[in-house]
Chain A
């Protein structure tokens, strides 16, 4: 009896839904934490208006967890889900590099990097045709997913670790890598909004490409498509 190959591995699906929950909770509790001190700085120190490069708006209750201002309660959510988010990435990295998912599906082949292929992909996206390209994902998807998985999410986690004084004492070089504690805080904020942008665009494209099939496949695993596409 031949087993039908799943489109999404179990590890991918578990990570996907763990992330969906973690990102929502971390982002919304993070906005509550941001309300405690609404200025961002570069370097190691910063506390005054004249040192700030950005005055952050106050985020309203409907955007935050909990839905009223509480730094301590927001930190509880953030500190709890930071562990979930961090260890989930670690587990996914280990499985995606050992089961070949990362190299086979996420990394682009050399020939996919040709300007004509990228331009063609942009045109196909503009026509709302998403089922094209070499392998499971097209070049724009590969660029996006690899940037999010290998740059954006690790940036989120490591800048968060820098802001933890106990963790910083363990690996003080991390702070220098990001240019200081307040720089890490600024990068954490920027990366959070980039991840939120990815989150929104990702959902819009799933809706455009057929939400029932894509969401079902990400739950059940779906079926690996073989052979030529029409």
Chain B
């Protein structure tokens, strides 16, 4: 009985210790380091080539593409936009760019399109496969011409979760990646509301929470400081999720 008490006491001290360590600044630094290590390894093992997320045949498409997080945008403006089939939705491209632009849905649809059947992996663990269509972000950025100081692209969204604006960001490497597209179609149809109508980001080498929905604005920035709480995204700010979600 004594030994058992000793084991239970030891185990709970270990757990309490882990939770304590988890709250310290040095542990935060350590896990940030691990995140960079993973990212560095992914880039290094890629050996300079552009690594691609797997693409599938249309026959692999999931019967239903689940919506997660925001399922709609709870504003009158969005309801009005939805009622007119998002005909007047606009995407602003600004920040550290030589040519700031406002793109209409027609302009987005008239750009060269990329269609890709890819797998969406939620951080929770589930996966769904869908066919996405839209212009490559690299094409849009080449037209907008980010300045030399631009290190990140920030994606601003129309939706809010728990009272805060959803947003996401990525580095220029992922922004210019051929599979990074601004999707307006899922499985050959206009994007459903639960999946981010009318525009959502596809950032195929990272987990689902990076794929910002209900896009309104793309902003080139030098640093993520001063945007939201400065961690580069809604879930990064709110709950400490990794900014590099390629892990």
* Interface bits B111-128 vs A (CB < 8 Å: 1, else 0): 000000001011111111
B11 within 8 A of A: yes
Complex contact A165–B206 (CB within 8 A): yes
Count, A-B residue pairs, CB within 8 A: 140
A83 touches which of B19, B37, B42, B240 (Cβ 8 Å): B37
Q: Which residues of A contact B235 (CB under 8 A)?
A: 72
Complex contact B38–A79 (CB within 8 A): yes
In whole angstroms, how far apart are the Cα atoms of A80 and B128 in the complex? 27
Complex contact A169–B38 (CB within 8 A): no
Q: Which residues of A contact B15 (CB under 8 A)?
A: 61-62, 65-67
* Interface bits A63-90 vs B (CB < 8 Å: 1, else 0): 0011110111101110110010000000
Q: Which residues of B contact A168 (CB under 8 A)?
A: 53-54
Complex contact B247–A66 (CB within 8 A): no
Which of chain A's residues 166-221 have a Cβ closer than 8 Å to chain B? 166-172, 175, 181-182, 185
Q: A67-B16, A169-B52, A170-B51 are in contact. Are A80 and B34 (CB under 8 A)?
A: yes
A46 within 8 A of B: yes
Q: A46-B127, A79-B35, A80-B31 are in contact. Are A72 and B241 (CB under 8 A)?
A: yes
B205 within 8 A of A: yes
For residue A6, give the distance in angstroms from its CB to the closest CB of chain B: 29
Q: Which residues of A contact B126 (CB under 8 A)?
A: 37, 39, 41, 46-47
List 8 additional A-B contacts (Cβ < 8 Å) besides A37-B122, A71-B123.
Answer: A62-B15, A68-B19, A71-B239, A164-B247, A165-B121, A165-B246, A166-B42, A169-B51
27 contacts between A and B (CB under 8 A): A45-B119, A46-B127, A47-B62, A47-B127, A48-B66, A65-B18, A67-B18, A68-B19, A71-B239, A76-B22, A76-B34, A76-B242, A80-B30, A80-B34, A83-B38, A163-B121, A165-B205, A165-B247, A166-B244, A166-B247, A167-B38, A168-B53, A168-B54, A169-B42, A169-B53, A169-B204, A170-B51
A contacts, CB < 8 Å to B: 25, 33-34, 36-37, 39, 41, 44-48, 61-62, 65-68, 70-73, 75-77, 79-80, 83, 163-172, 175, 181-182, 185
B contacts, CB < 8 Å to A: 11-12, 15-16, 18-19, 22, 27, 30-31, 34-35, 37-39, 41-42, 45-46, 51-54, 56, 60, 62, 64, 66, 119, 121-129, 204-207, 235, 239-242, 244-247
